Every structure is written in structure tokens, then in C-alpha cells.
Structure 1
Amino acid sequence: MQPSSTFELLNAVDTIAEDPGEAIVEAASWFARFVSAALGSIIIIAVIILLTLVALRILRSMVNRASQRVLDRHDRPAREVKLKADTLASVLENAGRMVIVLISTMMVLSNVGLNIGPLLASAGVVGLAIGFGAQSLIRDFISGFFILLEDQFGVGDVITVNEATGTVEYFSLRRTSMRMLDGTFVTIPNGEILQVSNLTKDWARAIMDIDISYGDDIDHAMEVIADELEGIENDEKIGHVVIAPAEVLGVTALGAYQVTIRAWVKTKPMEHWGVQRELLKRIKQALDRNGITIPFPHQVTLVRSEDGDHEAAKTLYGRTSARATPDDQSGSAATASSSEG
């Protein structure tokens, strides 16, 4: 309702007593102008809403088209580019949607007669006050911006953040959400991400640590493992995800009852877990065919009586046996650990 129309209505009411006929004519004229103005405002608001919906649809189309162009022109691995494009598209679309809705809201408020100048000034003051009290929120947005700018990770990557490991399902400038292995959905503000480990960046590595007993020939065991891994990049089952020949590094540890031999193979991102499971199965079968044992812990207990007589040793978790002799160390009991080949 416009102020001039309101004044006209009041004047028409004041003149009812003086000239009822003229007052009725003026009131009818005012009502006609009011209905016309109201219908005009409703139509304009409807047009603004319609244009808003169209703008949102155009925004989504433009973002998807730009994302597709990035995929077509980039020479990096297809998965890496797609993840980054999806992340950028999500952030740009959310930011554009906020801007479009904000502008449309201001246009609607202005059309219904509200003066948005003081409203904008008040919003600036309120925003400044909120900024001082919401420093953590601002930190989240800044951290999210740099995560996106530096391409630290994207939607679909497997990352470890704050001792939590999972697949990133959603990323925005404010927060990162990921799904853990057990299905737990974890949301972390970007400002709290101090260190992130990306397990699927560019490529991955399947690491196999194989234990053999001390009684086995180490060189022979390494040859068996190397023969089993030779040509794995051309394997029909897993060769399409292997990007480099496998390597047998050698002995990496000497344990209490085992010698550890390490081998690894370079794979495409997120494929190393499946390759590792398949190769460990094949290596175990190859070791069995060549008579190389995978050790297990066992304990030998020697028991000696106080009068010097000895008893047969009892073996726990193993098959080795021994006997105590009078020349053994004195004492009521002694315990030793050994390994079985």
C-alpha cells in the first residue's frame, strides 16, 4: 500500500459527512488503484521468484558444463580430475545459490515497500559483531578455501584426519564429512583439520609383509616371492590396476620367532587394498608349494624338581620338546622361548 493512496482514503472518509456521493466515488477510485498496485506487486514478486528459479537452473548448468570442460582438457589421471571437478562444482554452486537467493530476497522486500537501505546498514553492523564472535566459523571458511586451492583432498578420497579414516562424501568451505569403514558418518569443521593424510592421492601402494621361520632359506623364500610377483602388471585379474612392476625389498625385521620380508607394488588410487589381499593369498600358496613355513609363536617350559630329578619339558603353542639335566641352571623352574622352523 502506497502512502499517497492511504492519505486519499483518509480524505475520502473525512468527506463522507460533507458529501457522501463524492466520498463513495473517491473511495471506489482509491480501491481500484489499490487493487491494481497490489496485483502489480504480486505479479512482480512472482516474476522475481520465477527468474530466481531460472537463474538457479542456469547456474547448475554452467557449473556442470565448466566441470565437464575441465575433465576434457586435463591430462592428469581421470579419477583425480573428476574428484577435484566435483568438489569445485559443489562449492561454486553453493556459493552462487546463496548470492542469487540473497539478491532475490532484497528485490522482493524492496517491491513490497520496505526501504532496504537501513536494513543493509544494520546487516553490516550485525555482521561485524557476529564476525568478532564467530572467529572459529571464519577460520573454517579460510581453511576450506586453502584446502580447495591447494587440492589437498576432494570428494571420493580416502583420508585420515584427527585419527579418523574414511571416504570423503561431502566437502564445503565450512566442513568436511566422511564415511568411516564401519559406516559411521563423521563431520569435521575445516578449521580443526591440522594434518590430513590422503591415502588415495595420485597413486597408492600395496605393501606385503611376509613372515618366514628362522629355519628357512631367506634367499630361496625371496626368490619364490619374486617369481610369484613377476609380471603382475600383466595379470588378467588385477593387472589393469597395477601401474608398476612389483618389488621385493628384502628383510625388514627380525622378530622373536620370524623373519619378515617386505614386497610392494604400485597401484591406482583406492585399488591397493584389493591387490594386497589377492597377492597375499598367492604368496601364501607359493610358499606352501615350496615347503616354506609361516611361523607361529610357541613356548618351551623346563621343569626341575628340588631334589635334582628332572621331568620332561612341556611345550605350549608348539611341538618342540626338551629335557632338563642336572647340569642345567639351578632353581625350581626356568622358562625359555624358541622358534620352530
Structure 2
Amino acid sequence: MTDACGNDALCKQVFVWTQNQWLANSSYVIIIKPLRVIGIIVVAMLIRWLLHRAITRLTASTSRAAMPALLKPLKERVAETAEDAQYIPERRRQRAEAIGSVLRSFVSAVVFTMAALLLMGEFGFNLAPLLASAGIVGVALGFGAQSLVKDLIAGLFMLLEDQYGVGDTVDLGEAIGVVESVGLRITTVRDSRGVLWYIRNGEIVRVGNKSQGWAMVVIDIPIGFVNSEEAINVLKGAAIAIAEHPEHQTEFIEPPDVVGVEQLTVDGAVIRTIAKTTADSQATVQRELRRTLNEAMESSGLSGRIAASRMVPRSSVPPPWYTAPENSSPSIGEQPPGGAA
């Protein structure tokens, strides 16, 4: 036993059990090595399951009033009122699910990579050249895939900052439309003509989100040369009436206001009306308010007076104070002073 196993206690124990020198010498490979491999796999699966469970619970808590600070947009990490805390929009839930999916994929990749390296070490692979080669390949891929890394980082910060989400109407420069899907690398937007745009997150320089918070409706009504105070009173009454209508009452955040004469043109004055509405109701309120203001102007009789004020007769006779220059040539159709040419 001493000649076969030396001071190896496991080898001696196996030799006592089996009385076989080959099994005793191979005890480490047959017993210890498989147990270590199985242990590495089990521990990796356990760590992955625990981390996935923690991420799932973190993202699932968005369905309740309290929201984790990790998933809260960076611009909203301030004290919220009780009313705001009770409102968890659907887009925030979708963004939390997207972040959770990314975190779970990242955790799985890291855990399984470390487990694979440990397993390769157990089987006798020399990891030093492998890690050195992986580092060189990583540097090469980093230089060659700079745009991909840029897109991934931009997409991650876009999700964390909650710049836009699925269903939002956004202005991304050349693409203006409704967001249909959001990913770490690509954002798809469908415009008003039905064209689906695929935009890399790294190429998005600015984002105009028309679906967050509130929106402002601005309507300019030309009134010609009629009395501006009378037109303002008519428009103000029509705007307040539509704001108090039960069908549109919830769409207004603040009562509409007729701010007065916005500009003066050759055709007369222009009256501006503004209204603060919810983001989703901006287009509906704008169309309805424009229709109501137009009907109010017609029913008040101002539309006819506006049209009449624009019909200014133009006389061919110059005014008394006008003096023609001495060297001026006669206009077309005018007889020269000396008779017919």
C-alpha cells in the first residue's frame, strides 16, 4: 500500500476497499475530479438562479407603488408626492422588464463564463495562454466594433434615463413617428406614412418626446381688421365652453387662454389661443378647438366682417400728396406727354 499510494490517504482508503492498485492510484481522477466538476456546475447554477430571482423581484416591484431606485429614471430620482407614487405607468413597467432582461442575460453570461474557465482548469488546460489570447481578441474586437459598443452603451443609458418607450411619439431627427420597439442596439419608429425606421441608438443625437408629461396647443386665428376685443371675447367664450364639456374636460390640464394679438400682417391682426393638455390628447384637442373657434367666429357674424375688411378697393388715381418724379417713364398703357408714340 505504501509503495502504491505513498502518503495519499484517499488512495490508501480506496486500496483497502478494493484491493486494486489501479483504482487506488486513479482515485483522484475517478472520485475527486467528477465531484469538483459537478460542484462547479451546481454552484454556478445556484448563483445564476439566485441572481435571476433577485432581478425578477426587483423588476416585479414596479407593479406596486414603491419603485426601486435602480429602475427609477435618473432625472426622476427625487422625492415624489404621494399622488405621483401611486401612478406607475405602463411604459415604466415595460422599461423595467427590458432592463431586467438585459441584466439576466448579462448575469448568465458572466456566471457561465467563469464556470467554463474553472472547468477547463480542472481538466488540465493551461488558462494563461487562453486568457492572453482572449485579451488580444477582445482588444481587436473593441477597435473593430466601436460602433456596436457605442450603440449598446447609448441604449443602456436610454433605458435608465427613460428617454422614450414603446408607444411614444418621438422626433429623432429624420425619423418622426411612434416607437414600436426599443432594444439595446436598435430602436424602430413608424412614421405617419407607415414607413418603419430602424435607428441605431448610437446615432441618436437628440430626442424630442411628444408623449411625456403635458403638451401645449397653440392656435392662431386671423381676424382681419375687425375689433380685436370683440374677437377675443368670442374666442375666449368658445375655448372655455369646450374645456368645460364633459367629453373633453379630462383632456385639459389648465383652462385655455386667449393671449391676445400675436402679430399684425397686411391682412390684419392674428389672435393666439393656447391650451395646456395631456400629451395623448394634444392632437384631438387641437382639432376640436380649431373647429370650435372657427364655428364661434362664424356664428358671431365676425367672419363676414373679416372678409369684408379684406376687400379694399384699389384706385388708379394717385393721392393728392403724390408727385411723380421728373425723369420717370410712363407706366404701361399710359400716353406719353407729347401724344401717341
TM-score per shorter chain, which class?
A: 0.5 to 0.7
**Residue among 260, 279, 283 paired with 2:270:** 260
**Residue among 213, 226, 237 paired with 1:227:** 237
| Counterpart residue type for residue 332 of structure 1 | I
**Does 2:115 correspond to 1:97?**
no
Determine helix, strand or coil for the equivalent of 2:273.
strand
Determine helix, strand or coil for the equivalent of 2:316.
coil
Unaligned 5+ segments in structure 1 are 1-39, 298-317, 335-341
* Equivalent position of 2:260 in the other structure: 250
* Equivalent position of 1:126 in the other structure: 137
Q: Identity over the aligned pairs, expressed in percent?
A: 30
Quick one: distance in 1 between partners of 2:306 and 2:87? Answer: 42
Quick one: distance in 1 between partners of 2:227 and 2:162? Answer: 47
* Equivalent position of 2:301 in the other structure: 291
State whether residues 55 and 104 of structure 2, in contact with CA within 8 Å, keep that contact through their aligned partners in structure 1. Answer: no
* Equivalent position of 2:27 in the other structure: none
How far 1:164 moved relative to its partner?
2.5
Alignment of 1:1-341 (within 5 A): 61-62=56-57, 64-69=59-64, 75=81, 76=84, 81-100=89-108, 103-104=111-112, 115=125, 117=127, 119=130, 121-214=132-225, 216-230=226-240, 232-293=242-303, 322=314, 324-325=316-317, 330-332=330-332
| Counterpart residue type for residue 57 of structure 2 | M
Shift of the 78–115 alpha-carbon distance from structure 1 to 2, 3 Å rule, reads farther
Stretch deviating more after TM superposition (51-60 or 253-262): 51-60
Shift of the 150–296 alpha-carbon distance from structure 1 to 2, 3 Å rule, reads farther
Determine helix, strand or coil for the equivalent of 1:270.
helix
State whether residues 48 and 111 of structure 2, in contact with CA within 8 Å, keep that contact through their aligned partners in structure 1. Answer: no
Determine helix, strand or coil for the equivalent of 2:303.
coil
1:164-201 per-position Cα deviation (integer Å, ceiling 9, x unaligned): 22222323343332222222222222222222222222
Shift of the 266–129 alpha-carbon distance from structure 1 to 2, 3 Å rule, reads same
Quick one: distance in 2 between partners of 1:288 and 1:175? Answer: 50
Determine helix, strand or coil for the equivalent of 1:271.
helix
Quick one: distance in 2 between partners of 1:192 and 1:254? Answer: 42
Quick one: distance in 2 between partners of 1:116 and 1:99? Answer: 25
Which TM-score applies when normalising by structure 1? 0.64
Shift of the 208–126 alpha-carbon distance from structure 1 to 2, 3 Å rule, reads same
Quick one: distance in 2 between partners of 1:149 and 1:64? Answer: 13
User: Superposition RMSD on alpha carbons, in Å?
Assistant: 4.6
1:60-101 per-position Cα deviation (integer Å, ceiling 9, x unaligned): 853651321357797538777432342232133123124325
Quick one: distance in 2 between partners of 1:53 and 1:295? Answer: 77
Unaligned 5+ segments in structure 2 are 1-34, 69-79, 325-329, 335-341
| Counterpart residue type for residue 84 of structure 1 | R
How far 1:221 moved relative to its partner?
0.7
Quick one: distance in 2 between partners of 1:122 and 1:248? Answer: 71
Determine helix, strand or coil for the equivalent of 1:179.
strand
| Counterpart residue type for residue 150 of structure 2 | R
Which TM-score applies when normalising by structure 2? 0.64
Quick one: distance in 1 between partners of 2:198 and 2:65? Answer: 28
Stretch deviating more after TM superposition (131-140 or 71-80): 71-80
